[in-house]
Chains A and B, each alone.
Chain A
Amino acid sequence: MSKHYQIVVVGGGPAGLAAAIKASQSAGVSVLLIEREARLGGILKQCIHDGFGVVRFGEKLSGPEYAERFIKQLAQTGVTVSLFSYVTRMRRGDKGFDITYVCKDGVQNVTCDKIILATGCRERTRNAIFINGDRCAGVYTAGAAQNLVNILGVMPGKRVVILGSGDIGLIMARRLTLEGAKVIGVYEAKPTPSGLTRNIHQCLHDFDIPLHLSSTVTRVFGTNRLESVEISKVDDKMRPIEGTQTTVECDCLVLAVGLIPENELARELGVPLDNRTKGAIVDQNCQTLADGVYACGNALHVNDLVDYVSESGETAGGAAVAESKRKLVPVTLQGKLLYAVPQRLDVNSDLSKVIMYFRASDELSQQRLTVSVGGKTAFTKVYNKLLPPEMERITLDLTGVDLTDGEVTVKLEDK
């Protein structure tokens, strides 16, 4: 007989921790949290820099400290935690869902009513961006380099080139500099930086590390270890410009070239994904289009602040304990929006506090965001400046708005 839980949370990072805690707060709800690593906390374990939790706790915590607050709270709940456990199969069954996972005790089978996917994201690789050349050691994703330094205590290189100005790239530029490496430069194919502005300042400017925009690494050279990289300027479509190549000697290339939500399990459950976010399409309760399957955190869309990752975990955990008969209406985007989450609204559940996250598709100033239903404005806000790397969050009160046949539109336009 498989053990039955009302809720199974997959992933013990910030989203999964928050989801499990929230779900367990409803009386009598049984929750199983499945974590594939040996310790809870997800990627926060290796994010030893500070700046986490400013929104939620009003403090600047390091990654491990932020995770620890939730881990301690989780220990006070009745949530069953299974560490070093890996889900091998997930499908609908007679009792909701059948889940099979492996751990050190063997192959385990459980059933559950609802699933919350909090599987995080993975990094884009060298191959994904077609950096050609030799197959030498010394080319690492920023996360792998961070693990080497912060968990294993070893240096991935001494003369480092960083490709990508996303936050992890900037954080690693500082971290490697502190540990004595020479960071030759951060190169970014886009004409604007991808990371938070404060990180450009405290990670690069503080240490005189140059940032080269509209430039990328086009080739790597090295027999055993990396010996040099070829840098090319890129045009406005980010294609390398012939004739602009220069060679930079280095023994390490760190790639911070983007994150992709991990959705292997979502796929297995037949959850439709959003091409813009690469995560599941959800309603305001983080429920996907597959009934009973919820998605939150970076598996849903890549966040820049962990505080919002936890928030979406709580949304999913809170909603998953309730029974619902959904009636979904689509949210349509207009104007220069990269994406908005949720992509659907459930008319039959609470609409008084709909949290919506969005990103602009370009660096924009003097913008007006309007949420309208059936042509009537339900929410509007003016932004002086919007940057694609900086996610925006709004709270909508749509109670009393007739959503039954009105189209919900999110529009970004010049003020």
Chain B
Amino acid sequence: MSIEKIAAKVEKRYGVRVGVCQDDRSIILSGECNDWNTIVAIGKMFADAGTGKHVVNKITLAGYVEKAERLPAIRDGALDNTDWDVVVIGGGISGCAVARELSRYNLRILLCEKHSDVARGASGANDGMVHAGIDLKHRCNKLRYGVAGNAMYGDICRELGVEFNRCGQYVIFTSKLIKFLAKSTVKRARKHGIPGVTIIGKKQICEIEPRVKDFAVGALYVPSTGVVSPYKLTIAYAENAVQNGVKVSLDTAVLGMKKDGDKVSEVITNRGTVTAKCVVNCAGVFADEIAQMADDEYFTIHPRKGTDLLMDTNASGLPTHCISMGPTLKSATHSSSTKGGGIIITVDDNVLIGPDAIEVPDREDTSTVQSSIDSVFQRQSACCPSLRKNEIIAYFAGVRAPTYEEDFIIERSAKVPNLVHVAGIQSPGITAAPAFAKDVAQITAEYLASCGADVQLKPDFDPVRKAPVCAKKLSDADRDKLIRSDPDFGKIICRCEQVSLGEIKQAINNPLGVHTVDGVKRRVRAGMGRCQGGFCMPLVTQTIANQTGVEVSDVTKDDIGSNIAVGKIKECNR
């Protein structure tokens, strides 16, 4: 369909007059509309038109004042006048994995992350499923990197000292017809190189997961699905990168770029202006804005929020396997743009359910809303009716960063030769990251070599990052030995998750230099249990103060300005 016809269709359907123009890479939309979902729907209509072009959606939401981007509350010259071969923008899974893969080469690499820790965007707020890729239909980057990444997980997690459980997943069928139709899924999976996908019968699934016995007629068994802690993996990638010489600069936001001809020559941050031979854009929900800074805007990110719920480990009626509801006759005939989500058993044996998918105009809107909690619970408890809502202990929202084409953009820009985009990374981004990071590193290294740089693999690259100690997972004998070598490992600070002072100190003294309460929480789970830090938060705060030599009231929860306390009490204020 021609784009003129689509514009006419949009006007008929939504009453919105869209300005359309195009160049060799993109269809560029402009106009105004008073409903955000309509704006997104219009963008999708153009993306799905089969033009092979990207969509830049500049249609604005009437009356909506875009929230100012959250920038670090610091300005200094810490990075001023430094020279880098590669500047990686963004410390999510993409940026950290790319930085680590790049650190195999003899390059000077800077990673800028605007928050006080890595994995603060979507990489830190998703369910951690390592997807098999069964629901990916087309020849696309998602499928290519998803399937390749999945296969790499065992090795990469071993190297980086991150727990990974290839637990498999069961997609539950409630209709015999759907079960029959699933044969095509099995066939497609085989074609896509997804191993071992089979259909199992009612008897078998009910033995494996008795909680579905009242409604299951069978299930699709997907053995290559796994679970990982997405933020622990991101942290591990970043730490291994640092080990191999990468400079990770936290609280560092990219504010602009200077160009020299076609190329980006300088990157301007709140910590100073640096030179870069090559820039890798891993900016997640801000990837299109980074592209714009380099005068290279050819895609648009439309933020899509998802909420996940965490159940109390002691809750009754929990499932013991990763399960999700297969399509129903009704949903199969409707568009399948919203992902189904499911129930996951995390590597820490928590049951996590979700997510949903809500289009939002604000890229950093990670607030939770009751309607999402209710709908996620209602939807997912369908395949495990014994779940109880009052046994939810936590919930969180993350914002995915899809393009309108709904595929990853992993390429060197056609217009700005020294800019590599890793954009539109959404599910299965965690799964795909190990695979695309290798490609991105190669693209970057080849480009630098083509410019005459002497790019070599470093002989002393160390791929191994030692796993942090987790005392509660040790045998009694090993734990005893550990405590005798350092008594702090015997002093339990977080009672719900059994985290010792030794582990907390270890987390505080991390290679990235993250000294926040939530940083400790992400690394060792202190405060993640049912009391949600009520007991241990003051102790963790005090330990951070002691270990880093700052006042208790200077310790932050997360970013600069998120101080736990606002000062001392009167009696201590002098």
Fill in one digit per residue for A112-143: 1 if any B CB lies within 8 Å of its CB, else 0: 00000000001101111010111111001101
- Min CB distance A168 to B, Å, is 11
Complex alpha-carbon distance, A134 and B362, angstroms: 13
Expressed in whole angstroms, the Cα–Cα distance for A251 and B564 within the complex equals 11
Cβ–Cβ contact A127 & B392, under 8 A:
yes
Residues of A within 8 A of B570 (CB): 179-180
Determine whether A351 belongs to the interface, using a CB cutoff of 8 Å to chain B. Answer: no
B423, CB-defined interface residue at 8 Å: no
- A interface residues, how many (CB within 8 angstroms): 52
Question: Interface of chain B, helix or strand or loop or mixed?
Answer: mixed
Please pick, from B367, B479, B568, the residue contacting A154 in the complex, using a CB distance under 8 A.
B568
Q: Is A88 an interface residue (CB 8 A)?
A: yes
How many Å lie between the Cα of A157 and that of B471 in the bound state?
A: 35
Choose from A102, A126, A179 the contact partner of B569 (Cβ within 8 Å).
Answer: A179
Shortest Cβ gap from B88 to chain A (Å): 25
Least distance between B73 CB and chain A CB atoms (Å): 8
| Complexed CA–CA distance, A381 and B530 (Å) | 40
Collect the chain A residues with CB atoms within 8 Å of residue B479's CB.
102, 106-107
Interface size band for B: 35 or more
- Cα A133 to Cα B534 in complex, Å, equals 19
In the bound complex, do residue B534 and residue A144 qualify as a contact, i.e. CB atoms below 8 Å apart?
A: yes
A180 shortest CB reach to chain B, Å: 6
Give which listed residue, B492, B563, B567, B568, contacts A225 with CB less than 8 A.
B563
Q: Is A49 an interface residue (CB 8 A)?
A: no
Contact B367 A148 (CB under 8 A): no
**Do residues A267 and B314 form an inter-chain contact, with CB atoms below 8 A?**
yes
Complex: A157 Cα to B541 Cα, angstroms = 15
Nearest B residue to A147, CB-CB: B538
- Check if B367 sits within 8 Å of A137, measured CB to CB: no
Query: For the complex, is A103 an interface residue (Cβ under 8 Å from B)?
Result: yes
Q: Establish whether residues B571 and A135, one from each chain, have CB atoms under 8 Å apart when the complex forms.
A: no
A388 to chain B, nearest CB (A): 20
When distances are taken between beta carbons in the complex, the residues of chain B under 8 Å from A151 are: 538
Do A127 and B565 contact each other (CB < 8 Å), given the known contacts A86-B495, A104-B483, A144-B534? no
Min distance, Cβ A104 to any Cβ of chain B, angstroms = 4
Q: A144-B538, A149-B569, A152-B552 are in contact. Are A134 and B366 (CB under 8 A)?
A: yes
Q: Which of A137, A219, A225 has the most CB of B within 10 A?
A: A137
Chain B contacts for A38, CB-based, 8 A = 491
Does A100 interact with chain B (Cβ within 8 Å)? yes
Instruction: Tell me which of B370, B556, B569 has the highest count of chain A C-beta atoms within 10 A of its own C-beta.
Output: B569
State which of B392, B472, B566 has its C-beta within 8 Å of the C-beta of A155.
B566
Instruction: Say whether A122 contacts B531, CB under 8 Å.
Output: yes
Smallest CB gap from A251: residue in B: B566
- Whether B369 is near chain A, meaning CB under 8 Å from some CB there, is yes
B565:A224 contact, CB within 8 angstroms = no
Q: How far is the CB of A145 from chain B (nearest CB, A)?
A: 9
Decide: A122 and B563 in contact? CB cutoff 8 A. Answer: no
Partner of A135, one of B366, B369, B484, B495: B366
* B406 interfacial contact with A, CB 8 Å: no
Distance in angstroms between the alpha carbons of A46 and B479 in the assembled complex: 31
**Which residues of A215-266 are within 8 A (CB) of B?**
219, 221, 223-225, 251-252, 264
Chain A residues closer than 8 Å to B487, beta-carbon distance: 104-105
> Does B557 reach chain A (CB closer than 8 Å)?
yes
Q: Are B476 and A125 in contact (CB under 8 A)?
A: no
Q: In the assembly, what is the distance between CA of A36 and CA of B499, in Å? A: 12
Q: Is the CB of B571 within 8 A of A225?
A: no
Known contacts A122-B530, A143-B534, A144-B533; A132/B483 CB under 8 A: no
A354→B552 CA distance, assembly (Å): 49
Is A158 among interface residues, defined by CB-CB distance under 8 A?
Answer: yes
Chain B residues with CB under 8 Å of chain A are: 70, 73, 314, 366-370, 373, 390, 392-396, 471-472, 476-477, 479-480, 483-484, 487-488, 490-492, 495, 498, 500, 530-535, 537-538, 541-542, 552-553, 556-572
Known: A103-B491, A155-B565. 12 other contacts (CB 8 A): A86-B498, A102-B500, A104-B487, A106-B483, A107-B483, A132-B369, A137-B563, A154-B569, A158-B567, A224-B558, A225-B561, A264-B314
**A-B residue pairs in contact (CB < 8 Å), sample of 23:** A36-B495, A102-B471, A102-B479, A104-B483, A104-B487, A107-B490, A122-B531, A132-B370, A135-B367, A137-B558, A137-B563, A144-B534, A144-B538, A148-B538, A148-B565, A152-B552, A154-B552, A154-B572, A155-B567, A156-B565, A221-B367, A224-B73, A264-B314
